[in-house]
Structure 1
Amino acid sequence: MGLKRAGNQTVLFDNPPVILSSYAVVGPKEGKGPLGKTFNSIWQDQLNGEKTWELAESKMLQEALQGSISQAGIGKEQIDFMLAGDLLNQIVSSNFAARLMALPFIGVYGACSTMALSLALGSMMIDGGFAEHVLVGVSSHHDTAERQFRAPTEQGTQRAMSAQWTVTGAGSVLLGKKGAGPKITSATIGRVIDYGETDASNMGSAMAPAVADTILNHFHDLQCTGQDYDHIASGDLGTVGLALASEVLKQSGVDTGTEFTDCGVRIFDSTQDVHAGGSGCACSAVVFAGDLMQKLRARALKRVLLIGSGALHSPTSALQGESIPGIGHAVAIEA
């Protein structure tokens, strides 16, 4: 059997996995944003009855995972593997959700690119014949991320204008070997790119080169252009990173078409005081599971390229003065 590869970084699926269902859960701020009507569940507060923000995030992820199973109408015993990840140390939100889901579990960490990376890995498992159903879920929470990566929200620390607002939410999809729904036809696994950005309040700039690199390699590997897609969405570059990635692609002679946008730009509006936009694992997860999946099901979009963007730093590396490496993983979805 030959390699299911195109070029250096792209995987092609002979039997494209089907997205059987999707489910998006968000917090109150996200629910008040321009995409509010596309989410399945909107929490009324950040805790939703839990004692800590970390327990609330895990509960949110579990709700999204259960929602995908219910939407697909299959029994939990039919699911072969669960893939999940988040931003917290040792991906504890996912681990605790997996404890309750009681499914064979693979923890995934790609920072904010985790949704796209999990979709790629789950698709490889199904196309490779290792599974018939794979459950994917990703979460983040504004207050848990602030506590871990920056400063506790109680301090009221002033945020830079280039800073982004971590999305409180969880997105999930259920992948199947067969069935009705949009299909994942290819995945481009990104490279770690680091141009020396050290400002944790400007992660868009840190991630933009990696996202641009992945798009360039995706187009090169598949011999396609932006015109082959109805919609190209990065994960959470925000306004700063999106502008930078667009400029890099333009200088590289690449036309991304008229539909190159960013989930972090779309999830909030200018009245919500989020500065450069949204970020976090859940940013691309809830926009994809909600808005983009609705449009794919309705055939309003026929071909979508989702590029998850991740800043691969930690509190320890930041305190030690390390720069912020970036990563971008892409999956192509067709209605």
Structure 2
Amino acid sequence: MGQRILFPRQPRIVAVSTIAGTKECEGIVGRYVETALSDDMFGESTFEKAECKMLSHVIDGAIANAKLMRDQVGMIVSGDLLNQIISASFAARDFSVPFLGIYGACSTMAESLAVAAAFVDGGYCKNAVAATGSHFASAERQYRYPLELGTTRPPQSQWTVTGAGAALVAGEGDGIRITSATLGKVVDFGITDVNNMGAAMAPAIGIIAPQVRNAMNF
């Protein structure tokens, strides 16, 4: 297997569902969000419960938008940013659908789409839901400092999205076709600033981007 995987049957994304918090919906991206939250807690008592609820919401939304029922879904491929991918795991618990939990940090959505497409393209299931989600407050607690601590965030610090997204990948139907997947490699430039995670990821993107452009004849 090379770094790039081709999908001969070209699975397609037949339905999607998205949800995002108040800050995320303030910009131009907000108009494309299916469910815009007015309360980042989503009616829950903890940040983690809100994150889990967002994931369940978009998984259900993608299934509904594809005009399917839960028992018609072949599998769920999902992950999040927390220890033991608890948000994705607890969300999947409510669906009684085969679940493959993955962890790729900021690459989780792309990774889940690649894995879902591989299963569908290989004929192992008719369809699969690829999903991921995060919450700013739970990510701050996980990677930096709990909000309750009141630590000042430097201006260059990235802001983790409060939101979730899901896509239903199927072997038949109309939608964007997934023709291939390019797997990235770990590239470590020694970035140690927890407030600048973008710099840690940028070198790998810089290496893989030319390969993707060449593959797509850009």
> Matched residues in 2 for 1:146 and 1:180: separation?
39
Match of 1:332 in 2: none
Match of 2:72 in 1: 78
TM-score between both structures, scaled by the size of structure 2: 0.96
State the shift of 1:219 in Å: 4.1
Match of 1:278 in 2: none
State the shift of 1:159 in Å: 1.5
Secondary structure of the corresponding residue to residue 15 of structure 1: coil
> Matched residues in 2 for 1:11 and 1:167: separation?
29
Match of 1:184 in 2: 178
Match of 1:30 in 2: 24
> Matched residues in 2 for 1:69 and 1:175: separation?
10
1:133-174: CA deviation from partner (whole Å, max 9, x where unpaired): 101110000010111111111233221222111110000000
Of structures 1 and 2, the one scoring higher in RCO (CA 8 A, sep 6+) is 2
* 1:81–1:104 CA contact under 8 A, matched in 2: yes
The amino acid across from 1:17 in the alignment is: P
- Across the aligned residues of Structure 1 and Structure 2, the Cα RMSD in angstroms comes to 1.3
Unaligned runs of 5+ in 1: 229-335
State the shift of 1:18 in Å: 1.0
1:250-281: CA deviation from partner (whole Å, max 9, x where unpaired): xxxxxxxxxxxxxxxxxxxxxxxxxxxxxxxx
The amino acid across from 2:108 in the alignment is: T
Stretches (4+) displaced over 6 A: none
Match of 1:146 in 2: 140
* 1:9–1:217 CA contact under 8 A, matched in 2: no
Match of 1:92 in 2: 86
The amino acid across from 1:159 in the alignment is: R
Secondary structure of the corresponding residue to residue 59 of structure 2: helix
State the shift of 1:204 in Å: 1.1
State the shift of 1:75 in Å: 2.0
Unaligned runs of 5+ in 2: none
* 1:84–1:108 CA contact under 8 A, matched in 2: yes
The amino acid across from 2:37 in the alignment is: W
Percent identity of equivalent pairs: 44
Match of 1:39 in 2: 33
> Matched residues in 1 for 2:104 and 2:36: separation?
25
Secondary structure of the corresponding residue to residue 57 of structure 1: helix
1:196-235: CA deviation from partner (whole Å, max 9, x where unpaired): 1111111111101111112233345x3x54xx3xxxxxxx
> Matched residues in 1 for 2:56 and 2:81: separation?
16
The amino acid across from 2:212 in the alignment is: H
Task: Name the count of aligned residue pairs.
Answer: 218
